[in-house]
Amino acid sequence: MKAVFLGPPGAGKGTVAAQAKDYFKVPHISTGDLFRYNIKNETELGKQVKSILASGGLVPDSVTIAMVKERIAEPDCKDGFILDGFPRTIPQAEALEEMTELDHVLNLVISNEEVVQRLSGRRMCPSTGRIYHVLFNPPKVEGKDDETGEDLIQRDDDKEEAIKHRLEVYNAQTEPLIDFYRKKNLIRDVKTSNNMKPDEVFACVVKALS
């Protein structure tokens, strides 16, 4: 299965993809996680994109496209993949069309108010990227990762100003992709809200993609 997970910041792309990758037995490729990995390890790419991520802006298309092209050419992607956070612009979507043919584009739908609640309470394990929420999806022990016991962190771009900017960037540059893919009959809409547990959202996603 070759799928793209689309949706505003905080829609739950990463949370759903963590379950879907095991269910569909394909790798989960999050461009945000790839950039954060490079930042953490202070690679050249990491140094180049650090301030862009912190502000909530977009990394240039040329850089992002080259990174994804290389990643999906790896052997573990031969039977499919879940792309989370890519494409995010029309030029990225056009470049992806030249690389491969998609089966589904999941569109996670959520209100702006709920996005802000989600992002301001999100916590993350710095080494595994596992995602929590202080209220909606808390770890077993407050502030610690369930498996590694590491201290959880808050992402730099989950501060109020950056959240606002990310939503503006989403509306201007990424939302037009819904139409782009709807015309190609690839969009599968799934409505989510903070009243739905991640497992309930996942069940809807499986139904939409099966």
State the minimum distance, in angstroms, from the CB of residue 32 to Mg ion. 5
2, 36, 88, 123: which one is catalytic? 88
Distance, in Å, from the CA atom of 35 to the CA atom of 53, rounded to the nearest integer, reads 8
Question: Looking only at Cα atoms, what is the longest distance across the chain?
Answer: 46
State the minimum distance, in angstroms, from the CB of residue 183 to Mg ion. 26
* Span from 10-18, 37-45, 67-75, 202-210 in contact with Mg ion (CB under 5 A): 10-18
Residue in 124, 112, 123, 98 with CA at minimum distance from that of residue 7: 112
Residue in 89, 101, 96, 106 with CA at minimum distance from that of residue 15: 106
String of DSSP letters for 65-122:
HHHHHHHHTSGGGTT-EEEES---SHHHHHHHHHH---SEEEEEE--HHHHHHHHHTE
Task: Name the phi and psi angles at 76, rounded to 5.
Answer: -70, -10
Cβ–Cβ under 8 Å, residues 9 and 31 = no
Cβ–Cβ under 8 Å, residues 114 and 194 = yes
The residue among 26 and 163 lying less far from ligand AP5, judged by its C-beta, is 163
The residue among 2 and 88 lying less far from Mg ion, judged by its C-beta, is 88
State the minimum distance, in angstroms, from the CB of residue 5 to ligand AP5. 8
* Adjacent-strand bridge partners of 132: 123
The residue among 8 and 14 lying less far from Mg ion, judged by its C-beta, is 14
Instruction: Give catalytic status of residue 188 as yes or no.
Output: no
The residue among 1 and 54 lying less far from ligand AP5, judged by its C-beta, is 54
Interface residues toward ligand AP5, by CB under 6 A = 7, 9-15, 30-32, 35, 52-53, 56-59, 64, 85-88, 92, 118, 121-122, 131-133, 136-137, 157, 166, 192, 194, 196-198, 201
Instruction: Give catalytic status of residue 155 as yes or no.
Output: yes
The site partner of 2 among Mg ion, ligand AP5, none (C-beta below 5 to 8 Å per kind) is none
Residue nearest to ligand AP5 (CB): 32
CA-based torsion, 111, 117, 119, 125: positive or negative? negative
State the minimum distance, in angstroms, from the CB of residue 137 to ligand AP5. 4
Instruction: Give catalytic status of residue 13 as yes or no.
Output: yes
CA-based torsion, 112, 175, 30, 189: positive or negative? positive
State the minimum distance, in angstroms, from the CB of residue 148 to ligand AP5. 17
Binding site for Mg ion (CB under 5 A): 14
Residues acting as catalytic residues = 13, 88, 122, 155, 166
